[in-house]
Amino acid sequence: MVSGMRLYSEAEFEPQARQFAAALASRGVQVQLEAVEKLNARFFRLNPELALSADADGLWLCAGGMKMRPDWKAEAGRLKRASLKSEMIARACNLAEKPQLIDATAGLGHDSLLMAHLGAQVTLLERHPVLFTLLEDAHRQAMQDPFLSAAASRIQLVFSDSADYLRQRAAQHQAADVVYLDPMFPQRDQHQQAVKKQAQVKKQMQLLHLLLPEHGEMDLGDNLLALAQAIAKRVVVKRPRLAVFLAGQAPQHQWQGDACRFDAYFQHDLML
Ligand SMILES: C[S@@+](CC[C@H](N)C(=O)[O-])C[C@H]1O[C@@H](n2cnc3c(N)ncnc32)[C@H](O)[C@@H]1O
């Protein structure tokens, strides 16, 4: 897990940079603020190490001459085309019922934004402090956006390891309608070969692999399945199309797409 990072900003955006630094420090990431005369492409090329930057658009993750953030505004086109019928995730998570849903592996929050747009009430969990702070900024901006604010208002962000959060919910007998799990970003080779992604998405993945290397390699999220099953009648797991089952457990139902699939586990006799 990261413990220290540089945060670049031009003088004009120093107050915002300080706020981001304070939020990150409260989550255990010490930030070294650096004033930069011009935060432009040349600067990022000359400073290729993993860092953060703040500008008029908010907080960014940068490395190798690139920068990225969870860009919820860029999802607007997809959301406008989405419907309960057209989206496989909507059928898998039974979004027609407007469920109380826990997305226990937030990442960039794109799946949750779509599910909230289609009516789910979402608790969004992320344990990585930098990713969480990027998400918080995306959520804040979405709340001010005329199109996105309705979906954003149905999303509550929680900074936590999901294993801890799910155990706590079970101890407090607090059920959820659905728990959604998508623990792993596809590995580099998988998404280059199997998934025809646009350049922008590939760029985002490269930066996320730099930020989350140890999670991608060591923690496969297998422990989350049983914890999720203890509190939800329906657990939905998103997997790369050919990936093994989470925790080696065969699902009761599957929805297959070109690049990914959704595995569903049902507990009809759940009593909390
Ligand atoms: C593949 S990404 C999820 C992508 C997401 N579905 C989206 O639409 O952007 C997985 C994320 O889950 C997070 N994660 C994995 N295990 C976790 C855990 N036990 N608790 C909280 N977050 C976890 C990782 O930090 C990573 O950001």
Listed by start position, the domains of the chain span: 4-68, 73-266
The confidence score (pLDDT) of residue 141 equals 97
More confident residue, 116 or 190: 116
C-alpha to C-alpha distance for 42 and 207, rounded to whole angstroms: 18
Asked whether residue 189 carries a pLDDT value surpassing 80, the answer given is no
| CB 162 near ligand 1, within 6 Å | yes
Asked whether residue 219 carries a pLDDT value surpassing 80, the answer given is no
Does the structural domain 73-266 have CATH classification 3.40.50.150? Answer: yes
Closest atom of ligand 1 to CA, residue 221 = 16
C-alpha to C-alpha distance for 70 and 204, rounded to whole angstroms: 9
Spatial contact of 67 and 54, defined as CB atoms under 8 Å apart: no
C-alpha to C-alpha distance for 34 and 213, rounded to whole angstroms: 25
- The pLDDT confidence band at residue 186, using thresholds 50, 70 and 90, is low
* Most informative mutation of 61, 126, 218, 223 for ligand 1 (most atoms within 8 A of CB): 126
The confidence score (pLDDT) of residue 193 equals 46
| CB 185 near ligand 1, within 6 Å | yes
Output the furthest CA–CA distance in the chain (Å, rounded). Answer: 62
Helices (H) and strands (E) in the chain, counts: 12, 12
- The pLDDT confidence band at residue 192, using thresholds 50, 70 and 90, is very low
| Residue type for position 57 | D
Asked whether residue 21 carries a pLDDT value surpassing 70, the answer given is yes
Average model confidence (pLDDT) for the chain? Answer: 92
Asked whether residue 204 carries a pLDDT value surpassing 70, the answer given is yes
- The pLDDT confidence band at residue 218, using thresholds 50, 70 and 90, is low
**Could you report how far apart the first and last alpha carbons of the chain are, in Å?**
34
The whole-number average pLDDT for the span 70-87 is: 96
| CB 263 near ligand 1, within 6 Å | no
User: Of 39-43, 107-111, 190-194, which gets the smallest average pLDDT?
Assistant: 190-194
The whole-number average pLDDT for the span 214-222 is: 68
C-alpha to C-alpha distance for 29 and 21, rounded to whole angstroms: 8
- Tell me the three-class secondary structure of 127-165, residue by residue: CCHHHHHHHHHHHHHHHCCCCCHHHHCCEEEEECCHHHH
pLDDT of 233-265, one tens digit each?
A: 999 999 999 999 999 999 999 999 998 999 999
C-alpha to C-alpha distance for 106 and 185, rounded to whole angstroms: 11
Residue 266 CA: distances (Å) to CA of 14, 144, 184: 49, 37, 22
